[in-house]
Amino acid sequence: MFQIPCYQMTGYDMVGRSTESPIDFVVTDTISGSQNNDETQITQSTISRFACRIVCDRNPPYTARIFAAGFDSSKNIFLGEKAAKWKNPDGHMDGLTTNGVLVMHPKGGFTEESKPGVWREISVCGDVYTLRETRSAQQRGKLVENETNVLQDGSLVDLCGATLLWRTADGLFHTPTQKHIEALRQEINAARPQCPVGLNTLAFPSINRKDVVEEKQPWAYLSCGHVHGYHNWGHRSDTEANERECPMCRTVGPYVPLWLGCEAGFYVDAGPPTHAFTPCGHVCSEKSAKYWSQIPLPHGTHAFHAACPFCAAQLSGEHNCVKLIFQGPVD
């Protein structure tokens, strides 16, 4: 998932896969579960070259509106041959990108009390429609006349291959900072959590080493939440190498390293990192974990599922996240 802060907008910006000069924000396909963009190569992108336009008012309250498609180097709206197009009753042409630009506004804004909204599709002229039967279907959805294309704090924009999170300046002002997340990391490490079996001290690695599993890294059994150090025993199956039996409660489930979610813009509150997403092991606050665990993100041509905001891994388990159980030092 990508975050687009509104203060980076210059009044009129275009987003898409193309690297041509008209594109202001180049986006690439998100690889589910990847720690970085180099792990997997995309053979064929489903993101439109000229996916959408975002227009921001230059005067308060700096309202931002989203429109499907964008202008190419010839200053013409670019739509693929298979894209849906039609003429409105007022005589103006309108259309949809091949795989659509979907938008979801959370109910209650982007706060700890937010609830998922309804996914809609945005047209070239900025009208709001219900979703098509599939992403690339020729038949458009029904016009939703009482909704607009205005973006709000926490709005999600899906480009069929990448999902963007829109954050406003006011929303980011109330969001935890990178320094705050680092302070939470140091605080939990200062408590000296221990492996309940090996009794060795555990510590979350620094954010700039988030791709390397370290010796003191906390690991967790995601079915129960018990936090341990790494060990190479407890396997329950030769075929499921990641399935382990927790020595504390005998629960069988995934056993993974824990990673502190380091993108501050994805947090809905400033609470301590107490919950982990399953099955990836990214850790954040309880309310942030529960918020993202209930957000249905578009997947493929017509499916939806919740995903970790930090790595895009599809979530699983009873609640998509688990409360972590740390053991303090015995001394």
Exposed/middle/buried for residue 27 (C-beta within 10 Å: 0-12, 13-18, 19+): buried
CA distance 290 to 306: 11
pLDDT at 105: 96
Supply the pLDDT for residue 76: 77
Q: What percent of the residues of the chain are helix, what percent strand, and what percent coil, each to the nearest 5?
A: 10, 30, 60
Residues 6+ apart with CB under 8 A from 183: none
User: Are the C-beta atoms of residues 82 and 100 closer than 8 Å to each other?
Assistant: no
As a dihedral over the C-alpha atoms of residue 309, residue 312, residue 318, residue 319, rounded to 10 degrees, the angle is 10
Q: Tokens representing 182?
A: 């680092």
Tokens coding 238:
């030769």
Q: How far is CA 5 from the centre of its chain?
A: 14
Neighbours of 251 (CB within 10 A): 14
pTM for this prediction: 0.88
Q: How far apart are CA 55 and CA 148, in angstroms?
A: 13
Q: How many Å apart are CA 181 and CA 160, to the nearest integer? A: 30
Residue 1, classified by CB atoms within 10 Å of its CB into exposed (0-12), middle (13-18) or buried (19+), is buried
Neighbouring CB atoms inside 10 A of 149's CB total 21
Task: List average pLDDT for each run of 10 residues in the chain, which is 331 residues long.
Answer: 61 81 83 55 73 90 91 77 88 91 94 92 96 92 95 95 92 92 94 91 83 88 94 68 85 93 93 95 96 92 90 90 87 47
